[in-house]
Structure 1
Amino acid sequence: MTALDHSTIERPAHVRPALGLRIVNGVAKFIRSWRNRREIYQLGEMSDAQLADIGLVRGDLHVAWNAPLGIDPTEHLGWIAQARRRADEALARRML
């Protein structure tokens, strides 16, 4: 019976670039999220009517801004607008 010593096993060469790529992608995602978080301020300067045209209300901006730092606030706003649009469409179908 033999014992295997796993402490000396190195990662294969093809795994190392993948790990580096994941780190670079993670940093890029964080930077993109931070930039988009700053763009929320520009949406805050829009009127309520303009926000309604894109399917948002002013409170949605606050919800997106208070999302965790790892979540892109513009994606969060997209989810909110899409959910509201689906709810409105479902309500319209019930009315018919």
Structure 2
Amino acid sequence: MAILHLKAKPGSRANQLLVSPDGTVTVRLHAPAQDGKANAALRAYLAEVFGTSKSRVELLSGQTAPFKKLALLDINDDELAAVLARHRLA
């Protein structure tokens, strides 16, 4: 299991995972921040990016805040680092 800390930005043009040079993870989501739609979209998008099912992506904290903590239950730390490295900005 890997733990991922990120900042979610709902209401964006498209879903996108960005990792800044300092390691900060930001996920832009097309879904609006209302009635849990952004959190559901976040779980589904991360499941797609990491190649797992959305039931294996758990939101641990940050239900109503932009800063979130998620557990990726089928992903280990090495796999997490590899995916994040592919999304790192130059």
TM range (shorter): under 0.3
The TM-score normalised by the length of structure 2 is: 0.25
The TM-score normalised by the length of structure 1 is: 0.24
Task: Return the structure number with greater relative CO, CA threshold 8 A, min gap 6.
Answer: 2
Which structure shows the higher helix fraction? Answer: 1
